[in-house]
Amino acid sequence: MPDTLSQTLRDWQTFYFLIGGAAAGLVGLTFVAITVGSGIIIKQNTPALRAFVNPSLIHFIYVLVTAAVVVIPTITRIQLGILLALAGLVSAGRALAVLPFMVRQYREHIVDLHDWAWYFLAPLVSYLMYVGTGMGLLLRTAQVLDAMAWACILLLVAGIRNTWDMVLYMMFNRQEPPKP
């Protein structure tokens, strides 16, 4: 009997090639943006970089790795289910670990409610969708791959929005070099 998961995933290959390629390009552009804006990065900004820039980069990497894993021709339903559930749980935990820093930033009026949606809520929902997709694969639930696709799209959009926010921050905080 043919493996229905590999047949189903074959139908998704174009989607994952597209979204994986976009994520790979965005990883590279994020490195370029950070390098160009590195003049404003000081030691005191390290917690903010870890809380705001690292997750955006990680969102892109998640989409890239998800796309790469899904097109592995020998991946089984159990392997993919366990991988997605574990990755989602670990990442949801990591998203929750940033919560105290976000609360402090909100109290200091650095982060507004709009930022909460993109820096915290969208990634958390995406990672929980990874968990749900993994569990659905293990339980052989129909149409569960749609949730994984939406999770990837949401992570990609959140990463793009948050990277744009980072670029604007660097532009507005740019300082002229001291004159000789």
pLDDT of residue 1: 40
68 lies in some domain: yes
Say how far apart CA 55 and CA 50 lie, in whole Å. 7
- pLDDT tens-digit series, residues 143-153: 899 999 999 99
Cα 103–chain centre separation: 21
- pLDDT tens-digit series, residues 89-123: 999 998 888 778 777 877 777 777 777 888 888 99
- pLDDT tens-digit series, residues 15-60: 999 999 999 999 998 888 777 766 666 666 666 666 667 888 889 9
180 lies in some domain: no
31 lies in some domain: yes
The pair of structure tokens assigned to 102 is 């976000």
24 lies in some domain: yes
Q: In Å, how far are 30, 60, 110, 154, 156 from 150, measured between CA atoms?
A: 22, 14, 30, 6, 10
173 lies in some domain: no
Q: Does pTM top 0.75 for this prediction?
A: yes
Confidence of residue 5 (pLDDT cuts 50, 70, 90): confident
pLDDT of residue 44: 62
Instruction: Give the number of domains in the chain.
Output: 1
171 lies in some domain: no
Query: What's the first-to-final CA gap in the chain, in angstroms?
Result: 76
Its sign, for the CA torsion 111, 94, 61, 39, is positive
User: Domain range spanning residue 129?
Assistant: 4-163
Confidence of residue 67 (pLDDT cuts 50, 70, 90): very high
178 lies in some domain: no
The closest alpha carbon to 32, from 4, 57, 55, belongs to: 57
170 lies in some domain: no
Q: What is the CA radius of gyration of the chain?
A: 18
